[in-house]
Amino acid sequence: MSEALHKLAQKAGVAVQFADAGLNRKSYDVDANVIRFVLNDIGYPCANDDEAEASLAKIELERWQKTLEYIYVRVENNIVFDVVHPATEKVDEIILFDEKNHKVTIKTEMLDDIESKFIDNIHYLRKQYKINTPLNIGYYVLAVKLGDKIYRSRLAVAPQHSFEPEALKHKTWGFAVQLYSVNSKRNWGVGDFTDLSTLVNLAAESGASIIGLNPLNTLSHDYPENASPYQSISRLYLNPIYIDLEKVPEFEDKDKNAVADKIADIKKQEFINYDKIYHLKTYWLEQCYERMLSNKNSGRYTEFMTYCGKEGRELEKLAAFQAIYEQKTKTINGGWCAWQEELRSPDNAAVADYVRQNQKKVDFFKFMQFEASRQFAMAHNAVQKSGMQIGFYRDLAVGVGKDSAEFWGDKEIFIPQVGAGAPPDAFFPCGQKWGLGCFSPKKLKEHQYEPFIKVLRANMQNAGAIRVDHVMSLMRLFVIPDDMDCGTYVYYNFEDMLNLLTLESRLNKCMIVGESIGNVPDGFIEALQQHHIYSLSVLWAERAGAGWGGFYAPEHYPSNAVTSVGTHDMPPLKMWWFGYDIELAYSLKMMSEEEKVNSYHKREADRKHLLDSLDAAHIWPEDKLRQGNYLYGESYPEGLEEAVHRFMSKSASRVFLLQLEDVLQVDKQQNLPGTDVDTYPNWRHRLPVALEDLPQDERYIRNINAIRKER
């Protein structure tokens, strides 16, 4: 690699070397072709050394070519900003406005740190200023007057710590639920918002303080079987499949009779049939929409129009995208990138013309979001009425599908021809190619981080906490060019991203949990802890010897963490115990015969380690004490779930999340990373017990009691 390319990569925040998180930690030198591709894709041409040097010079001049930064993100006790201007001019006035455009009286001082530079024979100064007046956290407009010109920037004033609910003064617990998997006698074959309200009441009665949810964001309207909640088309809005039709005001009793047989057939199927369920629901939502339109003098129609006005441009873009996509997918393959050029941007006149000509269809997609938002708010209202202390713990996906409304609507802030992924680590030794669209660090700041802020706010709505998926992306994200297998890290302004997350946490009264399983940079967890951002901790990862030794005792767990036995990407407890996950991976040719044998030997040792840890903690149920070593071929240990849940509940961590799959002894994994629906039924497993029957289920009762002994 040439020196010019190496310097450019360092300056632009593209890694030339990285280490994985595998059991045998390995370092990689990034291929020069990958580096050139990524640099070019984020706006720094470097096909040869001359181009690389020109791009490097461009970076070094960027700050000197504008008076103010696009945005300053500062912590409340240290509000410093810089101003660049010709030496022949001076700063006449510094003005601050709040978000309501009210002038804020401030006192400023110029610091001694002054830089200078000559550009095209003009002498420029870069001066540092500090605002000494205490400011409330939030967003401001910073204005600087130079002569007869006024320059403006955005100022974000962040707190030192993110929001922490009062409940976290004590140890709490709750459920981790995949909403789609909830089985109830009244739903249409997939969990819905009414099920969620029911679950809230059940959880509150059981003493729970929090309910963790999968991402609830909008998925593909035209391909419902693309069911991964981490591959949304918009992280700003909700998936209409969670709407309970029977709670839609326009839905009538006779409608329910008309669909009863279809629902019964759908619910008989082993797996969730997204295609049939979604099309059935959207058909009846259209009937409800038509009924609403037939009475435009109603309060319901007024509420709908008010909602559309409040949501504004973002809702308009989503609805336009979905309406156009539905039409084009009938004749064009390849997603929105294959549409006519004039339809590839929401700002084009052709899109506006399409919306005007198809307003009714576009508004139907808005109607679905209106109703989904209303029903999710009803579930949140159930949280408030129940007295649940934290409430919903929402999941914010790390990225968005590239064939998505979010990418189509704001493509200039995404890196165009790369997808987010992950390098090899302890759980995924081959690495992962997610293919998700990811923000361009350069463009994100130029847009004052507004796309990032919008996504945060949307997912903090109706939530007392959010899980930031792959939280390391605040600092760096592993990207892989679309047509390559190898990738590298792109770095973000970690300080800005972390402070904005902290600010939005406080403004929305929403605690932050960072999912940090994987390749975690040195010092990263400590930085999160300084901002009172909680980490995730799972039983399978809390072990000595990089996963080969014993399980750590409960007192070893960090206090500022949310713990669980596993995640949706890991086998439930019973599946793990019998090694069904090993057999599954082997049957899908994800491991060799030798690897399978070795995995079973290791699992046998792992099971012994777990039994020893449970013994040491003295938490086996008194009427189901350990009977032996339970070697392969012997029975499943009675009381194992209770013992494990009590073990986790004894931990020092403030929050423990119970997975119903473990309680109900499910032996199938919700998601098997590295597979698609043609290989494995990811995201399609229903819980084996109906929600209405849970309170009487002996396993449920015993596990809740086990947790409450320690929490």
Using one digit for the tens of pLDDT, what is the confidence trace for 152-186? Answer: 999 999 999 999 999 999 999 999 999 999 999 99
Helices assigned H by DSSP within 74-139: none
Helices assigned H by DSSP within 269-404: 274-293, 299-328, 349-357, 359-386
Measured CA to CA in angstroms, residue 120 lies from 61, 85, 117 at distances of 12, 14, 10
Q: Stretch 388-394: mean pLDDT, rounded?
A: 97
DSSP, residue by residue, 514-538:
E---S-PPTTHHHHHHHTTPEEEEE
Per mean pLDDT, which range of 51-55, 178-182, 379-383, 622-626 is the poorest? 622-626
Tell the residue number behind the tokens 């539905």, with chain if given. Answer: 326
Tell the residue number behind the tokens 């709670």, with chain if given. Answer: 247
Model confidence band, residue 683 (pLDDT cutoffs 50, 70, 90): very high
**Average predicted confidence (pLDDT) for the chain:** 95
Q: How far apart are CA 188 and CA 63, in angstroms?
A: 56
Question: By CB neighbour count within 10 A (0-12 exposed, 13-18 middle, 19+ buried), where does 61 fall?
Answer: exposed
Question: By CB neighbour count within 10 A (0-12 exposed, 13-18 middle, 19+ buried), where does 76 fall?
Answer: middle
Helix, strand, or coil here: 697? coil
Helices assigned H by DSSP within 396-449: 405-409, 441-446
Question: What are the structural domains of the chain?
Answer: 3-63 (no CATH), 77-158 (2.60.40.10)
Look at residue 634 in the predicted model and tell me its pLDDT: 78
Tell the residue number behind the tokens 């006005």, with chain if given. Answer: 309
CB count within 10 Å of CB 574 equals: 18
Model confidence band, residue 20 (pLDDT cutoffs 50, 70, 90): confident
Q: Stretch 333-359: mean pLDDT, rounded?
A: 97
Q: How far apart are CA 681 and CA 531, in angstroms?
A: 39
Q: How far apart are CA 177 and CA 103, in angstroms?
A: 46
Q: At what angle do helices 193-206 and 359-386 cross, to 10 degrees?
A: 10
Query: Does residue 394 carry a pLDDT above 70?
Result: yes
Helices assigned H by DSSP within 531-626: 573-578, 580-587, 593-617
| Nearest alpha carbon to residue 579 among 605, 559, 541 | 605
Tell the residue number behind the tokens 């629906």, with chain if given. Answer: 677
359 contact partners, CB below 8 Å, separation of at least 6: none
Beta pairing partners, 126: 84, 115
> What are the backbone dihedrals phi and psi of residue 181, each rounded to the nearest 5 degrees, phi first?
-85, -10
Give me 596's structure tokens. Answer: 């399978």
Pairing, β 476-481 against β 534-538:
unpaired
Model confidence band, residue 26 (pLDDT cutoffs 50, 70, 90): confident
| Nearest alpha carbon to residue 649 among 575, 708, 593 | 708
Q: How far apart are CA 656 and CA 659, in angstroms?
A: 10
Query: Does residue 467 carry a pLDDT above 60?
Result: yes
| Nearest alpha carbon to residue 666 among 226, 264, 181 | 181
Question: By CB neighbour count within 10 A (0-12 exposed, 13-18 middle, 19+ buried), where does 452 fall?
Answer: buried
CB count within 10 Å of CB 617 equals: 20
Q: How does DSSP classify residue 543? A: B
Q: How far apart are CA 39 and CA 62, in angstroms?
A: 16
Sign of torsion, CA 586 590 591 597?
A: negative
Look at residue 376 in the predicted model and tell me its pLDDT: 98
The pLDDT tens digits for 420-446 are 988 866 556 556 788 899 999 999 999
Look at residue 23 in the predicted model and tell me its pLDDT: 59
Give the strands of the sheet with 80-86, arranged side by side. 80-86, 122-131, 108-119
Q: How does DSSP classify residue 74? A: E
The pLDDT tens digits for 583-618 are 999 999 999 999 999 999 999 999 999 999 999 999
Q: How does DSSP classify residue 402? A: S
The pLDDT tens digits for 114-135 are 999 999 999 999 999 999 999 9
Look at residue 427 in the predicted model and tell me its pLDDT: 58
Q: What is the pTM assigned to this prediction?
A: 0.95
Query: Does residue 674 carry a pLDDT above 90?
Result: no
The pLDDT tens digits for 540-582 are 999 998 788 999 999 999 999 999 999 999 999 999 999 999 9
Look at residue 696 in the predicted model and tell me its pLDDT: 97
To the nearest whole percent, how much of the chain has pLDDT over 70? 98
The pLDDT tens digits for 191-226 are 999 999 999 999 999 999 999 999 999 999 999 999
Sign of torsion, CA 254 258 261 262?
A: negative
User: Quick check: 614 and 626 in contact, CB under 8 A?
Assistant: yes
| Nearest alpha carbon to residue 464 among 511, 515, 532, 531 | 511
User: Quick check: 297 and 328 in contact, CB under 8 A?
Assistant: no
User: Quick check: 543 and 603 in contact, CB under 8 A?
Assistant: no
User: Quick check: 505 and 471 in contact, CB under 8 A?
Assistant: no
* H or E, element range at 571: none
Look at residue 1 in the predicted model and tell me its pLDDT: 84
The pLDDT tens digits for 229-250 are 999 999 999 999 999 999 999 9
Look at residue 403 in the predicted model and tell me its pLDDT: 96
Sign of torsion, CA 308 384 457 286?
A: negative
| Biggest CA pair distance of the chain | 87
Look at residue 643 in the predicted model and tell me its pLDDT: 98
Pairing, β 122-131 against β 108-119:
antiparallel
